[in-house]
Structure 1
Amino acid sequence: MPTYHYIATKPEDGCPRCSKGFDLRRPISRPALTECPLCKTPVRKVITSVNTPRVSKPMSVSDAKSAGFTILEKRCDGSYEKL
């Protein structure tokens, strides 16, 4: 379930929670909030950065095996051989 960040459209009119902004976990299928759940002040959804994993180097065969992956190598005839 994604986390969305909301902030009051006019922070001076909102409660302490929505004037500084708040995070809310909601299903994607539900529509975005239009008002603060506490004070009913209009809020807007803020676009934030997305957290993605960074891969600094390709995984070696030994690293992949120690992580529990099965390593396969393609042969000339189209079949795969387990290393």
Structure 2
Amino acid sequence: MPIYDYQAKDPAQGCDKCREPFEAMRRLDDPPLTNCPACGAPLVKLIAAPALGRSKSKLDDRAKAAGFHKLKRVDKGAFEKLY
């Protein structure tokens, strides 16, 4: 389930929960929250960066062991061989 960030439209009118941004786990088919569950103040849905993790599969190590090479682009048409 995705996690959405919400905050009171007017933080001065909100409670301790919605005065600052808070997270709410919602199903994709659930409508967005319009009011604070604690005080009923109107909310706005904030845009937040997604949480992305790094692969823990050691792809670089396995690719290097299999004889593959990794290139890094350093300029237009120029690459540096990392391994």
Asked if Structure 1 and Structure 2 have the same fold, meaning a TM-score greater than 0.5 normalized by the shorter chain, the answer is yes
Per-residue CA distance 1:24-61 (angstroms, 9 max, x = gap): 11101001001101110000110111112335963515
Aligned partner of 2:3 in structure 1 is 3
Paired-residue identity, %: 33
Q: TM-score, normalised by structure 2?
A: 0.65
Unaligned runs of 5+ in 2: 66-83
| Closer/same/farther in 2, CA of residues 47 and 59 from structure 1, 3 Å limit | farther
Runs of 4+ with deviation above 2 angstroms: 53-59
Looking at structure 2, the residues matched to 43 and 59 of structure 1 have their Cα atoms a distance apart, in angstroms, of: 47
Per-residue CA distance 1:53-82 (angstroms, 9 max, x = gap): 33596351598xxxxxxxxxxxxxxxxxxx
Name the count of aligned residue pairs. 63
Q: TM-score, normalised by structure 1?
A: 0.65
Bigger radius of gyration? 1
Unaligned runs of 5+ in 1: 64-83
Looking at structure 1, the residues matched to 63 and 18 of structure 2 have their Cα atoms a distance apart, in angstroms, of: 49
